[in-house]
Amino acid sequence: MKRFLILTKSLALIQLRNGAILFWNFAFPVLLMFIYGVVMSEYMKYMTPGVIVLNALSFGLVGSSTMMLELREKSILRRLQATTLPAWQLITSYLLVNIVIGVIQSTLILVMGAVFYEVPVSTTSLFLAYPMIIVSLLTFMSLGGIISGVSPKAGTATAVGMTIYFLLMFISDMVFPVSTLPDNVKDIVPYLPAYPAVQLVRSALLDATLDEKWVTYILLLAAYGFVATLIASRLFRWEPKA
Amino acid sequence: MSQNLVIDIENVTAAYGALTALNGVSLSVQKGEIFGLLGPNGAGKSTLLACVEGLHTPLQGSVHVGGSNVQHEPMSAKKRLGIQLQKTALLDDLTVAELVEVYAALYEVFLTKAQIDTLLKRFDLLEKRNTLARRLSGGQQQRLSLAVAIANDPEIILLDEPTSALDPHARRAVWNEIRKMHDEGRTIVLTTHAMEEAEALCGRIAIIDGGEIVACDTPTALIASLNLNATLKATVELPLEQVYDLPHVNSARYSGQHLEVETSKPEETMSALQGLAAKSGRSIRDVMLRQPNLEDVFLKLTGRQLSEIG
């Protein structure tokens, strides 16, 4: 346990000491809320849960995998592999640090929404919303794990992650309502990973209740997370591709 | 396995895709040795170390560390090892002290602040304890990677090119640290393509080329076994045919004004050369004697010069 704690502290310190990571993880989400607020101020109450999921999606698909890829590219993972550290402890520690960062990001956005855009905040809504945010983060990070597994370099992973991110951003009810989408797209949207996350977080935050289909949505996210974790663990590499 | 045998490599073949990196390599390292793997870049030295470290799985053969099979009991083998990879690969957004703490902890060795400071003092890094690793100079980073390599107090230390890219001063500082580790009773295996490093540090050397061990012995025995010639160099003008007739001379040539004579008994040849010069009324200046070294051994065994291809 002590090894796990020291490793987790070290991974957290690495994140906190990197200016680029700090900007993209903590300043950028706040900036994003300002930009959305300027462009679409009257919709911000409705959009804030979508922005939280959007940010979790970006962090899961791109942000969280970047550090792992950098560790791999710099041969640091290989050096860790030479120690007696079990892989599961490294992954768990890494996930823990990233979940905490993701939760802090979500909290920053939520505070912005509550202060500037009348997003209602109550004990019940927070109690319901945070587990949904964490489940969403875990699912998106698992998907990010697949991307980092198949990508030879951090740059490739960012490009792949951002492509999927933008695609999901426009069709998952995050910033544009599903009703505005073409009929054939509408049919597949409910099965995409970001859609159930948005519904769960939105109903929890705005209505302080669980969506009526919450079990389905949770199961869908869990299924995505489970399958993605299996694939990501098969694709996990300690070393860069030769 | 004998009690003194700490690393046993048997018939190891390893490859990267279609490229064979090691071909049936066998060797053993005894407790308390400084053992060198000498060879040019791409010879297979790092792959061999990676097989011992459990970082590369051989296609065939076995590697035992302290009696534990690296493939079947990796944790048991790894806990005996301290590692320095060729490319310094540390979590360099951590401070020097944090790095030592975390790398020791990865082996479930938990150092106190006093123990960390003692280790850093030994490697002349105490003043840098709160400096981020990425802000250290090359020599300091190399010393830090050595400190990290022994943070878990290992019996065996594997050093891959420990002094590559270091200036002579920093290189000698690292050599001193390696000798100190050896004096503590640790077994050290290092790779190098610098023959002077191998001669300066290693009790035994395996010369590796093209993924195969071409020779393995003490530096002295390797040199002696091949009956290599010493080279006498002097500034003197004498007919080459007369030089050839001197005792024990195997070859002679002029390089500019310098006569170069290869001889199996340099003292006797030198004496005869002085006699010949006196008889011819010539003076001998700038006399130098170069004894055969590992470079000559490598040349003799592989037909290539290590310094040119390393």
The string of pLDDT tens digits covering residues B73-99 is 999 999 999 998 887 678 888 999 999
Per residue in B230-260, pLDDT (tens digit) is 888 888 888 888 888 888 888 888 888 788 8
Per residue in B58-77, pLDDT (tens digit) is 999 999 998 899 989 999 99
Kindly state whether B15 is in contact with chain A, defined as any CB-CB distance less than 8 angstroms.
Answer: no
User: In angstroms, rounded to a whole number, what is the distance separating the alpha carbons of residues A79 and A88?
Assistant: 16
Which ipTM was obtained for this model? 0.81
- B131 vs A contacts (CB less than 8 Å): none
User: In angstroms, rounded to a whole number, what is the distance separating the alpha carbons of residues B131 and A64?
Assistant: 26
Cβ(B19)–Cβ(B33) under 8 Å?
A: no
Cβ(A218)–Cβ(A138) under 8 Å?
A: no
pLDDT of residue B3: 66
Closest to B89 (Cβ–Cβ): which among A2, A74, A242?
Answer: A74
pLDDT of residue A7: 94
User: In angstroms, rounded to a whole number, what is the distance separating the alpha carbons of residues B37 and B42?
Assistant: 12
Closest chain B residue by Cα to residue A70: B91
pLDDT of residue B2: 61
Residues forming a β-bridge with B262:
B231, B251
How is residue A170 written in tokens?
Answer: 């426009």
pLDDT of residue B200: 86
Number of CB atoms found within 10 A of residue B237's CB: 12
pLDDT of residue B248: 86
User: In angstroms, rounded to a whole number, what is the distance separating the alpha carbons of residues B310 and B288?
Assistant: 26
pLDDT of residue A87: 86
Q: Is B169 exposed, middle or buried (0-12, 13-18, 19+ CB in 10 A)?
A: exposed
pLDDT band at B306 (very low <50, low <70, confident <90, very high): low
User: In angstroms, rounded to a whole number, what is the distance separating the alpha carbons of residues B144 and B162?
Assistant: 11
Q: What contacts A220, CB < 8 A, 6 or more positions away?
A: A191, A193, A196
User: In angstroms, rounded to a whole number, what is the distance separating the alpha carbons of residues A33 and A28?
Assistant: 9
| Residue contacts between A and B (CB atoms, under 8 Å) | 67
Cross-chain Cβ contact B78/A80 below 8 Å: no
SS3 (DSSP) at B1:
coil
Closest to A7 (Cβ–Cβ): which among B53, B75, B102?
Answer: B102
Q: What percent of chain B has pLDDT over 70?
A: 97
Whole-number Cα distances in Å, B105 to A104, B79, B131: 28, 12, 20
- B105 vs A contacts (CB less than 8 Å): 2-3, 6-7
Q: What percent of chain B has pLDDT over 90?
A: 38
Kindly state whether B17 is in contact with chain A, defined as any CB-CB distance less than 8 angstroms.
Answer: yes
pLDDT of residue B308: 57
Closest CA to B9 of B269, B292, B206: B206
Distance from the Cα of residue A233 to its chain's centroid: 18
User: In angstroms, rounded to a whole number, what is the distance separating the alpha carbons of residues B252 and A126?
Assistant: 91
Kindly state whether B183 is in contact with chain A, defined as any CB-CB distance less than 8 angstroms.
Answer: no
One pLDDT digit (tens) per residue for chain A, 242 residues: 899 999 999 999 988 887 777 787 788 888 888 888 888 877 888 888 888 998 898 888 888 777 788 888 888 888 899 999 988 898 889 889 989 988 998 999 899 888 888 888 899 999 999 999 999 999 999 999 898 888 888 888 888 888 888 888 888 777 777 888 888 888 888 888 889 998 999 999 888 888 888 899 999 999 999 999 999 888 888 887 66
Cross-chain Cβ contact A81/B55 below 8 Å: yes
Closest to A76 (Cβ–Cβ): which among B75, B83, B90?
Answer: B90
Q: How far is A1 from chain B (nearest CA, A)?
A: 9
Terminal-residue alpha carbon distance, chain B: 34
Average model confidence (pLDDT) across chain B: 87
Closest CA to B222 of B161, B296, B307: B296
User: In angstroms, rounded to a whole number, what is the distance separating the alpha carbons of residues B21 and B15?
Assistant: 5
Ramachandran bin of B266, using left for φ above 0, alpha for ψ from -120 to 50, beta for the remaining angles = alpha
Indicate if the alpha-carbon torsion angle A185, A186, A188, A193 is positive or negative. positive
Cross-chain Cβ contact B108/A14 below 8 Å: no
- Top residue of A7, A79, A89 to mutate, by most chain B CBs within 10 Å, is A79
Kindly state whether B90 is in contact with chain A, defined as any CB-CB distance less than 8 angstroms.
Answer: yes
Q: Is B180 exposed, middle or buried (0-12, 13-18, 19+ CB in 10 A)?
A: middle
E-state strands within A140-184: none
Cross-chain Cβ contact A3/B81 below 8 Å: no
**pTM of the predicted model over 0.95:** no
Q: Looking only at Cα atoms, what is the longest distance across chain A?
A: 55
Would the pLDDT of B196 be above 70? yes
pLDDT of residue A165: 86
- A3 vs B contacts (CB less than 8 Å): 105-106, 108
- A13 vs B contacts (CB less than 8 Å): 93-94, 98
Kindly state whether B108 is in contact with chain A, defined as any CB-CB distance less than 8 angstroms.
Answer: yes
Cβ(A210)–Cβ(A204) under 8 Å?
A: yes
- In which element (H, E) is residue B222 found? helix B219-225
pLDDT of residue B109: 94
CA-CA-CA-CA torsion for A53, A54, A58, A59, nearest 10 degrees?
-30
Closest CA to A130 of A65, A53, A192: A53
